[in-house]
Structure 1
Amino acid sequence: MDAFWSRIADIASTYATDTIFILGKGPSADAVKKEVYQGSLVIALNDAERIAPADISIFHADWVKQGLAASGYRSRMYITSTDFSAPGRDVLHAPHLALSQESSDLVMQRFLAEDFAIEDILFLSALKIARIVAQQRGRPQTVYMVGFDFTPSAGYSASIGTDFAPHLSDEREAKISLQEFYFLNTLYFLQNTDLSVKHVGTRAFSALSPDGLNRLVLGAAAGKDGVRYQTQIVAELTTNHFGDRVRLEKMIRAAAAAGADVIKLQKRDVPSFYTKEQLTSPYRSPFGSTFADYRYALELSSEDFAFVDRLCTELGVEWFASILDKPSFEFMLQFSPRIVKLPSTISEHTDYLDFVAGSYRKAVVLSTGMTDQSYERWVLATFTRCEKLYMMQANSAYPTPLTDCNVGVVRHYQALSFKDPRIVPAYSSHDFGWKASAMAIAAGARMIEKHVKLGNTEWAHFDAVAVDLTTPKFKEFVDALREAELIVGSEEKQVNASEHHKYRRTYAA
């Protein structure tokens, strides 16, 4: 059983939110926007993955296999009592306990026990998974029940199309009525626990409507009162994924769930970027005994970047990479990047920088650590063809002392942007915390970059300033910056709706 829950924990750990969706097939699910599910764990019942992609699907009936095949297998994991298998998907098997008159009073007792079984009342099994996730995360979870209309005559979601279930109408009505009884019973049992279950619909016991859920989730993503933020927050993964695609996916999902707008990676051509002496030098890691073993293992392949592209599209976030050399630049062109970054590390590689400036027409992010005004003048004279030039103030010390953050440089870049609208002020945070980044927003930054990691690893390059995605710290960083942008507000002086005159002057006719 420990291995069973461990595999579920691996799925759940790819999300940083404390929100879980359980998806049924009722027509009210059609009113919930697909973006609502992004960034949170989704558990689908039977073939409800046909409505929206899920992380985990639970079923025990053989007819469900036809529905899943019709959807093209949209879940990452399946939990079933059948002989089901799906190419490239994780499948866990658990016993099915059929409901009978004699066992009905034991259903809720099993729900509170540790052992797992697939109940006839499938949402009870889904809620049990949610309870275990809450225990593993060590904090309460909010569960939204979507598509549970408990109205047989309403039919199914329009996304279902062909119904493969063999139920007769009277049998279906009896089962759905029974589900509503158990749902209300479950709400009672879960009072004062680590699960807050909210029904999405129009019933008397519904916590909110489908449209209310859209506003709650998407409105929060857009900002308070629907504000659309101008500053992009970049989660810089560096090579803290260690070339492991599972770890990479966890980091991307967690960063997106915390509110990042952009995921950033790195690409370098190991044999040409490092000297032979550097590559053959001893280095202890799980990948071998030399620095070359370590560096080669960290590099992502074209298949890895294609995976990143698909995942970021699914999550609704952008991605780009720091590209450190010409072979890597040519490699990355296969993905038609909208943005490339040229980091401080290569500020002296002027031949390569000049090549990018002459051949690339889209947006360039240029970090200015370890450089002075002479470099700035060279950059402005060289990068004249790109559609946008993000001038990113950075200090290359990790961590950067507060006295060396020099957020005032961001204000200087903002002044440059008034003369050249292609220039976008930006700030790369190598300091601890959020204060310097919040001040950079006040100085005009429209992109903030922050290093992130997934836990601590003894053998990897030490990254003291990276925010741990296994904690709430990155979400707190994002929230602080969003609040800072709200506080900065508009540069246009106007009377706000919150203002009123205590003493209103009366003008003579």
Structure 2
Amino acid sequence: MADTISDLIANIASTYATDTIFILGKGPSADLIDPQVFSSAMVIALNDAEQIAPADISIFHADWAKASIAANGYRSRAYLTSTDFTAPLRQVVHVEHTPLTQESTDLMMQRFQAGVLVIEDILFITALQVARKVAALRGRPQTIYMVGFDFNFEAGHTYSERVERDFAAGSEADRRLVFTMQEFFFINALYILKGSELEVKHVGAKPFSVLSPTELNHMFGRRLDAPEDGHPRKVSVVAELTTNHFGDRLRLERMIRSAKASGADHIKLQKRDVDSFYAPEQLTAPYVSPFGKTFADYRHQLELSRDDFAFVDKLCRDLNIGWFVSVLDEPSFRFLQEFDPPIIKLPSTISEHRDYLDYVSKNYTRSVVLSTGMTDDAYERWVLETFTSCEQLILMQANSAYPTPLEDCGVGIVRHYHELSKVHPHIVPAYSSHDFGWLGSALAVAAGARMVEKHVKLGNTEWAHFDAVAVDLTTPAFKDYVDHIREAERIVGEEEKKVNSSEHHKYRRKAS
């Protein structure tokens, strides 16, 4: 079992590059935290606190927690439990539960100091043991934010409002005793951990709290509904998720939330009909992945289902971020139409599939993003002659090398598309960044791009192949990219020449 727990923790910890861990309880102060705060760091939830925000690991031993988690739809990647709990497509590790009695309180704290991992009645002790294992695996200290631990019993206001139904049993007197006891053990744990590999920061309004929920939001969150500087945005930034969600809905959710928190305007996914898109010999070829032994096993796992796309649609509406899809074949195009997409993308990968592209041009009249990697001016002429009925034709300059050499980025092509847009008003210039960093995209904005796209991923895994230019959402890299695009927008400004309020004449002509 020890190896299983270590492997589980190592796999999840490798997803994140930050040395931050959130331990999530259900106190009402959790409602004051922007859920996006949790998007790019490891989250350990206690009992059914995963209702508040998706978690990496949930820890519980009570049957009521098992019932609540099952009823609310499994929002953790993995579970540590002593029950007979099972969860579809989730890893479950069964760990011994050691009950707390009046005589065994010292033994629990002794286990805590010794680093023994069992499921304690005081669940945050177990969560802190997990955090210690993460610190050991990473070989460096970790900062732990304790969120939703109010240790305050008030009848009718015990739990977060995001917890739709309280499954917990017990009388009010029992609960009051539990809250009081937990606070005592928390203070004791803080004392034990002084100078250790864990820096524990309580978020709340207690004397031992290090910061308030508002301060945590300022540290990790970002208000994105309106630019803080008051400047309107003209450039849409797209976080291209490709298939880096691996068909894992929880991973997908975290990527979308992270993209939103970084400032993206849209996220983009992919859809293809695996069985018809690839040749039979490709599908049967051996391929090493956690999903099977063939390339077909791997590709089928990466494709999102109808329920997955419905989930994406609702989540993006809730977060106020757009989404669209690279649609690689006719079956996928027909499939996506039930979601009434305002935008679809036709990627460079299928630029030679003229029959399919022509089919889309005749059957879709809204906005089409068309990437032009591996094409020339003859293709451009064909596109302009073919896509005449769409509301917008977003011509996206791209080079299909990953990474793209600087001399092949072709920002001048964006300027060419900008000139085309003066003749063909439905054309929108755009740029797909397969180069490293932000400079090419910022120059594209200066050349007239009104949409820029960057590939993103969520940490690394030992088996997956990521293209070299995908930026990691668990680091500040994508937020930095977005910030540079916003700065480029401001520097470019308007095309109409006028006197700005910042200007003044050093030498004014004297009145006669």
TM-score relative to the length of structure 2: 0.78
Aligned to 1:290: none
1:263 aligns with 2:268: yes
Summarize the Cα distance change of 1:124–1:229 in structure 2 as closer, same or farther, 3 Å threshold.
Answer: farther
Distance in 1 (alpha carbons) for counterparts of 2:297 and 2:177: 60
**Deviation at residue 366 of structure 1 after TM alignment:** 0.7
**Deviation at residue 489 of structure 1 after TM alignment:** 1.3
CA contact (8 A) 1:16 1:254 kept: no
Aligned to 2:212: 209
Distance in 2 (alpha carbons) for counterparts of 1:280 and 1:49: 40
**Deviation at residue 3 of structure 1 after TM alignment:** 0.7
Q: 2:372 aligns with which of 368, 385, 392?
A: 368
% of aligned pairs identical? 50
Q: 1:218 aligns with which of 217, 221, 226?
A: 221
1:329 aligns with 2:333: yes
Instruction: Map Cα deviations across residues 318-362 of structure 1 (whole Å, 9 max, x no partner).
Output: 544333333443344345443322223433443332221121122
Alignment of 1:2-401 (within 5 A): 2-13=3-14, 18-68=19-69, 71=72, 73-86=74-87, 89-137=90-138, 140-153=141-154, 155-157=157-159, 158-160=161-163, 163-219=166-222, 225=228, 231-236=235-240, 238=242, 245-246=247-248, 250=251, 253-254=254-255, 257=258, 259=262, 261-267=266-272, 271=276, 279=281, 285-286=287-288, 294=295, 297-299=298-300, 304=305, 306-307=307-308, 310=311, 313-314=314-315, 316=319, 318-401=322-405
Q: 1:449 aligns with which of 450, 453, 456?
A: 453
Q: 1:410 aligns with which of 407, 411, 414?
A: 414
Summarize the Cα distance change of 1:257–1:33 in structure 2 as closer, same or farther, 3 Å threshold.
Answer: closer
**Deviation at residue 393 of structure 1 after TM alignment:** 0.8
Moved more, 443-452 or 21-30: 443-452
Summarize the Cα distance change of 1:130–1:282 in structure 2 as closer, same or farther, 3 Å threshold.
Answer: closer
The one-letter code matched in structure 1 to 2:125 is L
CA contact (8 A) 1:118 1:125 kept: yes
Partner of 2:92: helix, strand, or coil?
Answer: strand
Structure 2 residues not aligned, in runs of 5+: none
The one-letter code matched in structure 2 to 1:203 is K
The one-letter code matched in structure 1 to 2:210 is A
CA contact (8 A) 2:28 2:158 kept: yes
CA contact (8 A) 1:23 1:44 kept: yes
Distance in 1 (alpha carbons) for counterparts of 2:426 and 2:141: 46
Moved more, 216-225 or 88-97: 216-225
Distance in 1 (alpha carbons) for counterparts of 2:106 and 2:167: 30
Distance in 2 (alpha carbons) for counterparts of 1:455 and 1:50: 26
**Deviation at residue 94 of structure 1 after TM alignment:** 1.7
Structure 1 residues not aligned, in runs of 5+: 288-292
CA contact (8 A) 1:134 1:195 kept: yes
Instruction: Map Cα deviations across residues 274-295 of structure 1 (whole Å, 9 max, x no partner).
Output: 5x8xx479966449xxxxx646
Partner of 2:484: helix, strand, or coil?
Answer: helix
The one-letter code matched in structure 1 to 2:432 is S
**Deviation at residue 384 of structure 1 after TM alignment:** 2.7
Distance in 1 (alpha carbons) for counterparts of 2:283 and 2:182: 65
Distance in 2 (alpha carbons) for counterparts of 1:137 and 1:28: 30
**Deviation at residue 365 of structure 1 after TM alignment:** 1.0
Partner of 1:130: helix, strand, or coil?
Answer: helix
Partner of 1:219: helix, strand, or coil?
Answer: coil
Summarize the Cα distance change of 1:455–1:12 in structure 2 as closer, same or farther, 3 Å threshold.
Answer: closer
Aligned pairs, number: 493
Partner of 1:321: helix, strand, or coil?
Answer: strand
Instruction: Map Cα deviations across residues 43-89 of structure 1 (whole Å, 9 max, x no partner).
Output: 33233344445443322334444544554554443322234445665
Summarize the Cα distance change of 1:263–1:137 in structure 2 as closer, same or farther, 3 Å threshold.
Answer: farther
**Deviation at residue 156 of structure 1 after TM alignment:** 1.1
Distance in 2 (alpha carbons) for counterparts of 1:11 and 1:311: 23
Summarize the Cα distance change of 1:233–1:191 in structure 2 as closer, same or farther, 3 Å threshold.
Answer: farther
**Deviation at residue 239 of structure 1 after TM alignment:** 5.9
